[in-house]
Chain A
């Protein structure tokens, strides 16, 4: 069952946040989300997040781009209308390949880069006019916020978070429509 109440612990220092994350993890509490104003090195590892697979998608997209380039130019330059253009050997793809390499390279990079970025947007649900999911505007400036779901352990969690150096602890009703 999805928890309806969450606890927001706010920190002002990334070092303190890191040790707090380690402590909360060692107490076996599940961290819902952490909001930071900038990337905190090692935070994903401390939270135990699975490594990203976006590089793998990018490699595959690159392969698609390379294939598109080869198929396209093979059809246009070799199969469809093999003209003699300035003496270039358009008898087979291989014979004229050096001339196609710049395009093959660029399309590989183009597909790998753009499709990877779009994948990133899709997976992290980002688009124009999207309503910001920000529980506290200060987390975009100089505060760090850790969100933990409450399962009838409110006082225990509060005291644990207090120990870790949180400067502010709020209990809020989770607004499911915010997403």
Chain B
């Protein structure tokens, strides 16, 4: 089946990109309207507005008292570098107090962080699909080959999406990664940070981008060749291309699981360079995997509703929905394992991560748990519901929003701390990369027939019945 991106879809994508650009532009202008000159007045205005609220909050129980103690500890920990040098800091920056300086940084970080969260979110969908695709090949799955072209369409975003993420990281610099601040590794600097300096053999700008290029290069190479062999298999009279695809998929999966883990340290965990967690790579993987599968299901249902995938039946949708259900629970398992271990032992250097989040991000932090766990658990448990397209789409929308929030919760608390909001910069960034994603993916979907007809498992897949 041939598909061509419809004019309406293309127009919608372009409108999204334009609106997104406007939103992002506004975000930067708005952030930069706050400068060293007027930060004092802005903060003073904020304090007046919040004064009443703080007074009532004061009536806390013993439990609350504990929380506050932890918070203040967290703050001093997160910013230990500057706090340790408090005296120097104030003299160096003249009129600005320590508090004003932090607030100014947070306000300026916001548009960068908003861009980065959205860019990473859409990139991670494409990368998750790429991993799923490789697994289908390596496992020689018999049900999924009818969906291969949809997956290949989505993975076309891996390379551009990854480049965008790296570019944002490059230009955002210390707005995202505090370990890139001038002088963090220099003992004589006021910014000197003993902990970050100790990690500087890994966390340095050159290394970051060399590794980024290797990760992205490897993923894009696999995507390029698997697509090439998949297309070549369509007109081949033997299974040579399929076998090649099988081999490179197995090799890619080994490469992927190492690089994905390191990517998550570099691109995400390093926004909190004082904090570390061993299962973080898996956690990020689960998040990208479930969002990727959700997007496969949603695009498949969309194309099927256009009558373009008549070989995809209810059972394929059912299987995808089972994956959405299962991996959502897998994600929760990892989220909880990370959270509970750290909460239970309550070691100050680790627990600050969650203290910041629970203190300042209560709604997004626990809201995402409801969206990514309780909702799919209850909605997608019933076998009949997994076969109903609109049901799967609704569940998919909630899961995607939940995983956007997941990335949001990973990046924002380290960059803008309590000054977060989901406003114009955030929504603008989502529109920008969402539009770009739709445009690239649906253009790629139009470049090859929607049925990978040369695949040796195609007949089995077409008759797949659950």
Chain A residues with CB under 8 Å of chain B are 55, 59, 87, 89, 91, 95, 98-99, 101
Cβ contacts B101-113/A at 8 Å (1 or 0 each):
0000000000000
Tally of chain B residues near chain A (CB < 8 A): 12
Closest 8 CB pairs of A and B: A98-B340, A98-B343, A91-B63, A89-B63, A95-B63, A99-B344, A101-B336, A101-B340
Which of chain B's residues have a CB closer than 8 A to the CB of A101? 336, 340
Contact A87 B346 (CB under 8 A): yes
Complex Cα distance, B67 from A95, in Å, reads: 11
Complex Cα distance, B383 from A55, in Å, reads: 10
Which of chain A's residues have a CB closer than 8 A to the CB of B340? 98-99, 101
Known: A59-B381, A89-B63, A99-B344. 15 other contacts (CB 8 A): A55-B383, A87-B346, A89-B66, A91-B61, A91-B62, A91-B63, A95-B63, A98-B336, A98-B339, A98-B340, A98-B343, A98-B344, A99-B340, A101-B336, A101-B340
Between A and B, 5 residue pairs with Cβ closer than 8 Å are A59-B381, A89-B66, A91-B61, A98-B340, A99-B344
Chain B residues with CB under 8 Å of chain A are 61-63, 66, 336, 339-340, 343-344, 346, 381, 383
B366 to chain A, nearest CB (A): 11
A161 to chain B, nearest CB (A): 29
Which of chain B's residues have a CB closer than 8 A to the CB of A98? 336, 339-340, 343-344
Which of chain A's residues have a CB closer than 8 A to the CB of B346? 87
Complex Cα distance, B383 from A98, in Å, reads: 30
- What secondary structure prevails in chain A residues at the interface with B? helix
Complex Cα distance, B63 from A171, in Å, reads: 79
- With CB as the reference atom, state the residue of chain A lying closest to B381: A59
B379 to chain A, nearest CB (A): 13
Which of chain B's residues have a CB closer than 8 A to the CB of A99? 340, 344
Complex Cα distance, B344 from A87, in Å, reads: 10
Complex Cα distance, B63 from A91, in Å, reads: 8
A163 to chain B, nearest CB (A): 29
- With CB as the reference atom, state the residue of chain A lying closest to B63: A91
Which of chain A's residues have a CB closer than 8 A to the CB of B62? 91
Which of chain A's residues have a CB closer than 8 A to the CB of B383? 55
Residue of A55, A59, A95, A98 contacting most chain B CB atoms (<10 Å): A98
Complex Cα distance, B339 from A159, in Å, reads: 70
Which of chain A's residues have a CB closer than 8 A to the CB of B336? 98, 101
Which of chain A's residues have a CB closer than 8 A to the CB of B344? 98-99
- With CB as the reference atom, state the residue of chain A lying closest to B345: A86
- With CB as the reference atom, state the residue of chain B lying closest to A55: B383
- With CB as the reference atom, state the residue of chain A lying closest to B341: A98
Complex Cα distance, B336 from A99, in Å, reads: 11
Complex Cα distance, B369 from A101, in Å, reads: 14
Complex Cα distance, B335 from A98, in Å, reads: 12
Complex Cα distance, B381 from A87, in Å, reads: 38
- With CB as the reference atom, state the residue of chain B lying closest to A102: B340
Which of chain A's residues have a CB closer than 8 A to the CB of B381? 59
Complex Cα distance, B383 from A169, in Å, reads: 40
- With CB as the reference atom, state the residue of chain B lying closest to A88: B344
Complex Cα distance, B152 from A95, in Å, reads: 46
B343 to chain A, nearest CB (A): 5
Complex Cα distance, B343 from A59, in Å, reads: 30
Which of chain A's residues have a CB closer than 8 A to the CB of B343? 98
A116 to chain B, nearest CB (A): 14
A11 to chain B, nearest CB (A): 24
B386 to chain A, nearest CB (A): 13
- With CB as the reference atom, state the residue of chain A lying closest to B346: A87
Complex Cα distance, B63 from A101, in Å, reads: 21
